[in-house]
Chains A and B, each alone.
Chain A
């Protein structure tokens, strides 16, 4: 149990285009999902908290108009990188929170985004 899928696993796009990444909890419902970004040799850095039925909460320094998050159902959150630029190239990974008491996060396999 506790499987999270993420699609696509990798994407290459031209500068200025938008890219949508999907994160799905396959066998549990998740009212909260997280989106992280990881640059080479760095930690997973939290970008935003996605809450089902409400607006996402963004971490300091993350542009909400650039990284659009939609959490329309208890099993799906999407991250759209709008007008992507080469500096947005990174590894994006989502996680879904399943239950209490320790709020364990289960991760998707990640998406490698390369913007040309």
Chain B
């Protein structure tokens, strides 16, 4: 089982600012990293699945990078908008034969208009 940590726990930014936050995990026994976006009263929405060291994925204004050697992933939001306000979860996946994910506690982002 991976130990997944996220920082910061919460974050307030002004509309238009860019921001980023971190997910760290043990670099050994790693298979994939998942990022989810979770708005209040909705289902967590899958953003990215990342597997390879150096992976960089992008979806609109949101992008993520992965460093498996040092055990971290960054999520970036460019030009934050109020609708980006949500909790961002990352989850580690330790093996091809297992479906289980280990979640971090999440980073709660609030974008102030």
Contact = CB atoms under 8 A, between A and B. Distances in A.
Interface of A: 2, 4, 32, 34, 36, 41-46, 49, 93, 97, 101-110
A105 B102 CA distance: 12
Contact of A4 (B43, B93, B101, B104): B43
Contact of A41 (B34, B36, B103, B105): B105
Contact of B103 (A43, A101, A108): A43
A102 B96 CA distance: 8
A97 B99 contact: yes
Interface string B36-50: 100001111010010
A15 to B, nearest CB: 26
Main DSSP-derived SS at the B contact region: loop
B32 interface: yes
B81 interface: no
Contacts of B14: none
Nearest to A101: B96
A48 to B, nearest CB: 11
Contact of B49 (A4, A102, A108): A102
B67 interface: no
Closest 6 CB pairs of A and B: A107-B44, A102-B49, A44-B103, A103-B99, A107-B43, A109-B43
A43 B104 contact: yes
B51 A102 contact: yes
B91 to A, nearest CB: 8
Contact of A106 (B32, B46, B51, B99): B46
B89 interface: yes
A103 B43 contact: no
A104 B34 CA distance: 8
B100 interface: yes
